[in-house]
């Protein structure tokens, strides 16, 4: 029998790719998702249990049914800009509801968790690239909600031996190279899918948030990491949790930064279209530059990103977007 892993948010972007990787590694990924952001079509490698992580009874029921040995926790709100305007929403979802999940795990004696964290825990970097020793000073409620999550995991490790690995993603990008799943948020707030919507003619232009940052072309620099590489890091983290104790954190990024304008140019190349751009003011809560030093994940998890090329990432996402539009057009 395959060992079950409870994947909260398994119907979402990174969660669904992690389910695919878990299944390939011989696990049964059990998706627990309220489908508020996730999609039924993204759950293809194990059962879908619809439920909210604030629903103790439902969580208990699902844990009783599948007896997972570990949890991967993706169910969270992720838009840094929105979190500045709606902080309570972020603390409620990413902290209060997370505590309900941790309580349920403890009752069920599940002592292993891989936690989706973010580069936003670092805030505006003092030095770049950022390694895990860099000071933790989030500049938006999203980053702070994830930092609190990491801190809770450390305290639970000390108090009752919870084992955890927090994976600090830089900018998740791309989509399944086999084209089985991909990114779809409503409303979309992330740069690459927005740029590709513009390339496909589904939006008139791309708004560039801030052109006066202290970077090569004045726009923000981000380190884009392929979602399939994020997924493989989760499986490696799960393997490490068998023997690791305490609470650890690893950066996941490629160590290469690209400006917003460079992403747009790459998307123009990939799609063969000209993308209209509108300069807009800075978006609240955005640090100018975020680039990872992920040597720790490489050395200690054995992580080897396979899709670090931005053109490949955008190419996968573009193929997904094009296929998606075709499926919509024929009503499937
Ligand atoms: N961005 C932009 N226009 C958009 C969406 C995003 O200029 O329509 C910028 C955003 O300000 C940031 C970068 O693109 O500098 C990446 O933003 P995204 O929301 O994709 O990820 P984040 O860095 O917030 O996790």
Q: Give the C-alpha separation, 166 to 72, whole Å.
A: 10
- The whole-number pLDDT of residue 327 equals 63
| CA 207 to centroid of ligand 1, rounded, Å | 10
Cα separation, 8 vs 16, in Å, equals 10
Asked whether the predicted pLDDT for residue 57 surpasses 60, the reply is: yes
Instruction: Indicate whether 221 pLDDT > 70.
Output: yes
For residue 263, report the distance from its CA to the centre of ligand 1, in Å: 11
How does residue 325 score in pLDDT terms, banded at 50, 70 and 90? low
Give residue-wise pLDDT tens across range 260-311: 999 999 999 999 999 999 999 999 889 999 999 999 999 999 999 999 999 9
Class for domain 4-174+225-252, per CATH? alpha beta
Residue 179 pLDDT more than 60? yes
Tell me the CATH number of domain 191-222+255-298+306-329, given options 3.40.50.720, 1.10.1130.10, 3.90.25.10, 3.30.565.10: 3.90.25.10
Q: Which residue has the tokens 């955890």?
A: 164
Q: What is the pLDDT of residues 5-39, one digit of tens each?
A: 999 999 999 999 999 999 999 999 999 999 999 99
Give the Å distance between the CA of 11 and the centre of ligand 1: 23
Could you tell me how far CA 173 lies from the centroid of its own chain? 9
**Closest ligand 1 atom to Cα of 285:** 24
Q: Check residue 99 and give its pLDDT.
A: 98
Distance 220 CA to ligand 1 centre (A): 8
Instruction: Name the residue ranges covered by the structural domains of the chain.
Output: 4-174+225-252, 191-222+255-298+306-329
Contact 250, 301 (CB under 8 A): yes
Pocket test residue of 210, 260, 289 for ligand 1, highest count of atoms within 8 A of CB? 260
Task: Quickly state the pLDDT bin for 324 (edges 50, 70, 90).
Answer: low
Q: How many helices (H) and strands (E) does the chain have?
A: 11, 14
Position 219 pLDDT exceeds 50: yes
User: Is the confidence at residue 249, as pLDDT, over 60?
Assistant: yes
Q: How far apart are CA 272 and CA 305, in angstroms?
A: 27
Q: Read off the pTM.
A: 0.96
The answer, yes or no, to whether residue 319 has pLDDT greater than 50, is yes
Average pLDDT of the chain to the nearest whole number: 96
Nearest CA, atom 6, ligand 1:
191
Active site residues: 142
Asked if the model's pLDDT at residue 330 lies above 90, the reply is: no
Tokens, residue 120: 């936003």
Residues with CB under 6 A from ligand 1: 80, 171, 189-191, 194, 206-209, 220, 222, 260, 283, 286
CA separation for the pair 20, 28 (Å, rounded)? 10
pLDDT tens-digit map of 129-142: 999 999 999 999 99
Q: Do domains 4-174+225-252 and 191-222+255-298+306-329 have the same CATH topology?
A: no
CA dist., res. 189 & res. 130, Å (int):
24
**If you average pLDDT over residues 210-231, what whole number do you get?**
98
């Amino acid at each position: 029998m395959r060992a079950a892993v409870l994947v909260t948010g398994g119907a979402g972007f990174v969660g669904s790719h992690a389910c695919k990787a878990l299944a390939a590694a011989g696990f049964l990924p059990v998706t627990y998702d309220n489908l508020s952001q996730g999609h039924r079509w993204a759950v293809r490698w194990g059962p879908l249990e619809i439920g909210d992580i604030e629903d103790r009874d439902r969580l208990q029921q699902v844990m009783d049914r599948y007896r997972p040995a570990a949890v991967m926790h993706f169910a969270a709100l992720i838009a840094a800009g929105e979190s500045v305007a709606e902080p309570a929403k972020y603390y409620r979802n990413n902290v209060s509801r997370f505590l309900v999940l941790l309580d349920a795990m403890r009752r069920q004696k599940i002592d292993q968790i891989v936690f989706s964290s973010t580069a936003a825990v670092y805030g505006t970097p003092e030095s770049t690239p950022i390694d895990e020793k860099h000071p933790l000073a989030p500049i938006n409620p999203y980053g702070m909600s994830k930092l609190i999550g990491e801190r809770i995991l450390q305290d639970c490790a000390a108090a009752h031996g919870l084992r955890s690995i927090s994976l600090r993603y830089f900018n998740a990008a791309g989509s399944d190279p086999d084209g089985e799943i991909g990114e779809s948020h409503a409303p979309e707030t992330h740069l690459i899918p927005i740029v590709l919507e513009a390339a496909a003619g589904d939006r008139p232009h791309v708004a560039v948030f801030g052109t006066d940052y202290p970077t090569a072309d004045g726009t923000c620099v981000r380190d884009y990491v392929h979602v399939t590489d994020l997924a493989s890091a989760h499986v490696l983290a799960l393997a490490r949790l068998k023997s690791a104790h305490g609470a650890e954190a690893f950066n996941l990024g490629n160590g290469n930064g690209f400006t917003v304008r460079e992403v747009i140019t790459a998307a123009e190349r990939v799609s063969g279209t000209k993308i209209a751009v509108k300069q807009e003011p800075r978006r609240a809560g955005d640090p100018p530059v975020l680039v990872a030093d992920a040597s720790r994940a490489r050395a200690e998890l054995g992580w080897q990103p396979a899709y670090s090329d931005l053109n490949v990432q955008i190419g996968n996402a573009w193929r997904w977007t094009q296929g998606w539009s075709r499926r919509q057009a024929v009503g499937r």
